[in-house]
A and B are shown apart, each in its own frame.
Chain A
Amino acid sequence: MQYSEKVMDHFMNPRNVGEIENADGIGTCGNPVCGDLMTFYLRIEPRIEDPNKACISEIRFKTFGCGAAIAVASMASEMVKGKTLSEVTAMSRDDVANELDGLPPIKMHCSNIGVQAIQEAVKDYLKKIGRDDLAGKIKGCPDKKH
């Protein structure tokens, strides 16, 4: 288990842990069967004319998983706060892993789940405001059963 100092810091002191009541968007990815599960809750500053420019004003998460999973969720939550929805959907797993000064190769899937769970929450929001057209363009969590 070779984790960077940043991973250990976010793991030991995770930021933005919790839930948001009546969240604007909720997204889950992973499965306890595989050992990792993350749920993100978003509060979103709306932009009716162009929802892609709407901003994430608040984010909370809960995670079941290894040290890397908890660190990824915490770091990703920091990274997307204040970002527009289009910026969030353009994010990749490497962005989070790089920000954490790297992850062991076998833990890269944790990084994937983190980004996908947030994008799933964005998708959820877009659907809630009736923009299935925009939601459909976001990949989100590929296989919810897995």
Chain B
Amino acid sequence: MEHKKKSVYLDNNATTPADPRVIEKMLPYFHETSANPSSIHGAGRRARDAVEEAREKLSRLVHCRTDETYFTSGGTESDNMGIKGAAFAQSERTKIITSAIEHHAVLTTCDYMKKHGYEIVKAPVDEYGIVDLNFLSRAVDDKTLLVSIMHANNEVGTIEPLKDIGEIAHRHGAIFHSDAVQTVGKIPIDMDALQVDMLSLSGHKFYGPKGVGALVVRRGTRFDPLHHGGHHERNKRAGTENVPGIVGLGAACEISMTEMNTEEKSIRELRDSLWIGINKEIGEVQLNGHPENRLAGTLNISVKYIEGESMLLNLDMHGIYASSGSACTSGSLEASHVLLAMGVPHDLAHGSLRFSMGRFNTKRDIDHVIEVFPGIVKKLRAISPLCKN
């Protein structure tokens, strides 16, 4: 009972709390050092320096050149800018290949492109959420302008074999874009090694601020801007720079660079202890996602015979914040497109739950979940007509 007021945030794949060290770095740029980086006076030059310093930190994190980075308003804009920008910069090729498990930022953009005459092909995935490489090899052809496959899936955490996908795309001269919103700052990224031409990232998924992100585009990859206006971001993304946000993004990159390795290990330990604890206490649960090749902080499970939203609401009562792939939580009548694409049966997709751990979780958080979650499952199974005992 004493835990009741304490809240346990296990929804880090939805967004991470900004690191206090990040916030501290940002604060001066709201007022004391506020200026437009395009201004030529001293204050403007200091704002410009701050933006360029952040750019350097970002380039070091993803191993690219500084003149390959374009700051945006976040993951969604970066995905839009990459896909539409690549398509509109040319006219010979008309085919875009993506996967069935992409974030809506990519899928809905592709749906829109379809309305504009582009052919959209969605590659299937296996039971673990790994994209079918044989399908990709057959689908990519000389008409293909872009292959867009995410680095890691936000719902189940499965990490895609980008290098292999990049090679397939390049065989036919297609551009390879990857939505790396869930991996930047969490696992090492080397654009060269991964064969990626365009990479989307977002600050608020790795302890930076919300509303800032970037698209990284390799030199030689042509793309049109999404925003037209001033000369910002080398004419590729018009609009006065979000200086505090960009500074925050840079600070988040810097922290991740030094802490990524140890952090990944400790988060993985938390996640695995949660899975072991749940398995010990609750029967008939299954893991969704790749058993090994997945983000350290992601635990997506399906609890048989009960539905996700009812579990979430009960967890919420205990101050535990998680998420679900149930239709009830998506605002639509369909369960998670990711789980269904992986072949998870509908009832188990409705009964899915995602715990996503991050930098600020502790062993006590996990213990609290293991303490209250079995009781919730027991209570809901007692009401369920699907549960025969």
Contacts and interface: CB of A to CB of B under 8 A. Distances in A.
Interface in A1-55: 1, 3, 8, 11-12, 14, 17, 28, 32-39
A83 to B, nearest CB: 23
20 contacts: A1-B309, A1-B313, A8-B313, A12-B314, A14-B383, A34-B327, A35-B307, A35-B327, A35-B346, A62-B384, A63-B385, A64-B305, A64-B306, A66-B309, A66-B326, A67-B310, A67-B313, A106-B331, A106-B333, A109-B333
Name the prevailing secondary structure of the A interface residues: mixed
Given A12-B317, A35-B328, A64 B333 contact: no
A38 B383 CA distance: 10
A57 B38 CA distance: 78
Nearest to B333: A34
A33 B346 contact: yes
A6 B315 CA distance: 18
A64 B328 contact: no
Contact of B386 (A17, A32, A107): A32
A37 B386 contact: yes
A62 B383 contact: yes
Contact of B307 (A39, A66, A106, A109): A66
Interface string B284-321: 00000000000000000000011111100110010000
Interface of A: 1, 3, 8, 11-12, 14, 17, 28, 32-39, 62-70, 106-107, 109
Nearest to A33: B346
A74 to B, nearest CB: 9
B310 A17 contact: no
A66 B328 contact: yes
Given A1-B329, A32-B350, A67-B328, A38 B385 contact: yes
Find the residue from A8, A14, A67 having the highest chain B CB count within 10 A. A67
A37 B305 CA distance: 11
B382 interface: yes
B326 to A, nearest CB: 6
Interface of B: 305-310, 313-314, 317, 326-329, 331, 333, 335, 346-347, 350, 382-386
A35 B326 CA distance: 8
A66 B383 contact: no
Contact of B310 (A32, A33, A38, A66): A66
Which of A11, A63, A64, A70 is packed against the most chain B CB atoms within 10 Å? Answer: A64
Which of B305, B335, B350, B382 has the most C-beta atoms of chain A within 10 angstroms of its own C-beta? B350
A64 B313 contact: no
Contacts of A65: 307, 310, 328
Contacts of B383: 14, 17, 62-63, 70
A107 B313 CA distance: 15
A11 to B, nearest CB: 7
Contacts of B331: 106
A64 B386 contact: yes
Pairs of residues from A and B, 9 with the lowest C-beta to C-beta distance, nearest first: A66-B328, A62-B385, A32-B347, A66-B309, A33-B346, A35-B350, A39-B385, A35-B327, A67-B313
A28 B385 CA distance: 10
Contact of B384 (A8, A34, A63, A68): A63
A17 B382 contact: yes
Given A17-B382, A64-B384, A69-B307, 16 more contacts: A8-B313, A32-B350, A32-B386, A33-B346, A34-B346, A62-B384, A64-B347, A65-B310, A66-B308, A66-B326, A67-B310, A67-B328, A69-B310, A106-B331, A107-B328, A109-B333
Nearest to A73: B383
A62 B383 CA distance: 5
Contacts of B335: 35
Residue among A12, A32, A38 having the largest count of chain B Cβ atoms under 10 Å: A32
Nearest to A28: B385
Contacts of A35: 307, 326-328, 333, 335, 346-347, 350
B197 to A, nearest CB: 40
